[in-house]
Amino acid sequence: MNSYTHLRYLPFGLILLALGTASAQNGNENTIEPGNTYRFATHLFEEGEYLRAAIEYQRYIYSAPTMPTNADSVLYKIGLCYRMGGKPPAAINYFRKIHDEHPNSPLIEEAHYEIAFSYLLSGQGQKSMKYIGTHMRLIQDDQEVLKMQKLVGLNYLRLRKWDIASALMDSLGKLDPGNPLVISTAALAKEGQNLPHKNKALAGLYSSVIPGAGKVYCGRSTDGLFSLLMIGLTGWQAYEGFHKDGVRSVKGWVYGSIGGVLYLGNIYGSVVTAQIFNEEQEAKISLKVKVLINAQAH
């Protein structure tokens, strides 16, 4: 290779050297101190960026040269991030780490509550109740015990044990009068106890006596009147046909058959209407319970 060739490649070599130097400088500048990572995570948490905050809190723990002295509180915050970010199973894992890795942490009792609450949020009411039953006796702080009892009340709502929830809230209302959660839970328990219910057999019986009456009983007056009208009209047409031509009346048999089908369908439809009514009432109160539970997550 002649000298001209060397000179031709020299500018590229200088460019690569400059890029390498800049890259090294950027690498040094991009080194983030653990303290800065922690502050950034806290900022994200305060802004409601819970899942991003969880990642930064984890980065803080794993990037520190030694285990941070506040590791238990960071684990607790990671758990909160996942719970408030809509990932209760992940939250449970981090709250459990406090119990397993930091048994003397002052956050143990709060972690027990959060685990039970996260089970409830994930739709595992039975697991939540079982966990509370196992760990309630370990809680020494009276306020934490009261907090856990309120959670028991929410579990009873989710499990539709209205009577037990109502009795518990009556007791808690005396210990913590005016508490919004106790008041709301008690109100939903009372609503559950007095939930409107329609008897399917009774709805069918009503419609067998008076077509459409079962639907009126279930609050579907328009449907009931329509059934009465249709069955009445077909019945009248069948009557006219038989009255005019006797048992050989085609009109009588056609309309009589249609009327019979409508009559039986009216009875069956009333039973189904009662079932739908009951399911709608259950769905409405279940939604209210879900909203109340989710409201406690923030």
CA dihedral angle for residue 90, residue 94, residue 99, residue 100, rounded to 10 degrees: 90
Q: Tokens for 195?
A: 């939930």
Supply the pLDDT for residue 25. Answer: 45
* CATH 1.25.40.10 for the 34-140 domain, yes or no: yes
Structure token digits, residue 203: 């709805």
The Cα–Cα gap between 259 and 272 comes to 20
Distance from C-alpha of 25 to C-alpha of 277, rounded to nearest angstrom? 70
Per-residue model confidence as pLDDT tens digits over 256-270: 889 889 989 999 999
In the predicted model, what is the mean pLDDT of residues 43-72?
A: 90
CA 174 to chain centroid: 29
| Among the listed residues 206, 200, 209, 211, the one whose alpha carbon sits nearest the alpha carbon of residue 273 | 200
Our CA angle for 190, 193, 195, nearest 5°, is 105
Supply angle C-alpha 169, 171, 175, rounded to 5: 105
What was the pLDDT predicted at 32? 60
Between 19-23, 88-92, 144-148, 288-292, the lowest mean confidence (pLDDT) is in 19-23
DSSP 210: S
pTM: 0.76
Contacts of 24 (CB under 8 A, 6+ apart): none
Phi/psi of residue 141, nearest 5 degrees: -75, 125
Q: What is the DSSP code (8-state) at residue 298?
A: -
What's the burial of 72, exposed, middle or buried (CB within 10 Å: 0-12/13-18/19+)? buried
Distance CA 235, CA 228 (A): 10
Rounded CA gap, 54 and 44, in Å?
Answer: 9
Of all residues in the chain, the percent with pLDDT exceeding 70 is: 89
> Which of these, 165, 162, 214, 224, lies nearest to 193 by C-alpha position?
162
Half-sphere exposure of 202 (CA within 13 A, CB side): 7
212 contacts 227 by C-beta, under 8 angstroms: yes
Residue 266's nearest CA partner among 212, 205, 221, 223 is 212
CA distance 125 to 169: 18
Residue ranges per domain, the chain?
34-140, 152-194, 200-291
- The mean of the pLDDT values for the chain is 86
State pLDDT tens for residues 216-264: 999 999 989 999 899 889 888 888 888 788 878 888 888 888 988 998 9
Nearest to 199 by CA among 280, 271, 283: 271
